[in-house]
């Protein structure tokens, strides 16, 4: 006889996200999809709900094997979590001072080092690529004003 899996907090969140995705899909149907030339206001939320429910249901199925202990409760997991939260807080605090692109470069580099990406070249190239993409996407293509800091 198989041993039943205990209901963990991860399982509860995955169930909640699956349900939330389905609710978003149902509610977005009332807004309408529109046409291909002129998408309606319900198109984007419908696909967000679809992705949310499909991926969280997939996680629910894939994580059905019992585990020893969640990584957050291990000392190394706690340290990584706290460092990540610290970088996120610094990212928000430093954004008005240094600008979005520079802080994104620094934060991405810090995330790479926290996650133990090997060497210096890979984290620097990933950080520079992310910052360049952020700049091109928001400032150049979408014309969205992000904090520039003391640069401009």
Cα–Cα distance for residue pair 75/151, rounded to 1 Å: 40
Q: Are residues 57 and 76 in the same domain?
A: no
pLDDT digits (tens, 9 = 90+) for 100-150: 889 999 999 999 999 998 889 999 999 999 999 988 988 888 888 888 888
How many domains are there within the chain?
Answer: 2
Q: Report the DSSP beta bridge partners of residue 39.
A: 34
DSSP 6: P
Asked if residue 4 belongs to a domain, the reply is no
Residues 104 and 147 in one domain: yes
pLDDT digits (tens, 9 = 90+) for 2-16: 555 566 778 888 899
Same domain, residue pair 63 and 76: no
Residues 145 and 92 in one domain: yes
- pTM listed for this prediction: 0.56
Residue-wise pLDDT tens digits, 47-91: 999 999 999 999 888 877 665 555 556 677 788 889 999 999 999
């Amino acid at each position: 006889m198989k041993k039943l899996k205990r209901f963990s907090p991860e399982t509860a969140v995955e169930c909640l996200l699956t349900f939330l995705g389905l609710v978003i899909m149902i509610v977005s149907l009332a807004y309408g999809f529109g046409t291909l030339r002129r998408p309606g206001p319900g198109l984007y939320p419908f696909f967000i709900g679809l992705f949310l429910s499909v991926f969280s249901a997939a996680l629910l199925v894939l994580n059905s094997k019992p585990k020893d202990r969640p990584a957050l409760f291990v000392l190394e997991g706690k340290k990584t979590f706290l460092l990540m939260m610290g970088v996120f807080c610094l990212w928000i605090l430093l954004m008005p001072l240094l600008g979005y692109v520079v802080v994104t470069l620094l934060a991405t580099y810090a995330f790479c080092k926290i996650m133990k990406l090997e060497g210096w070249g890979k984290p620097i190239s990933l950080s520079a690529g992310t910052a360049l993409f952020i700049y091109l996407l928001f400032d150049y293509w979408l014309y969205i004003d992000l904090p520039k800091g003391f640069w401009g």
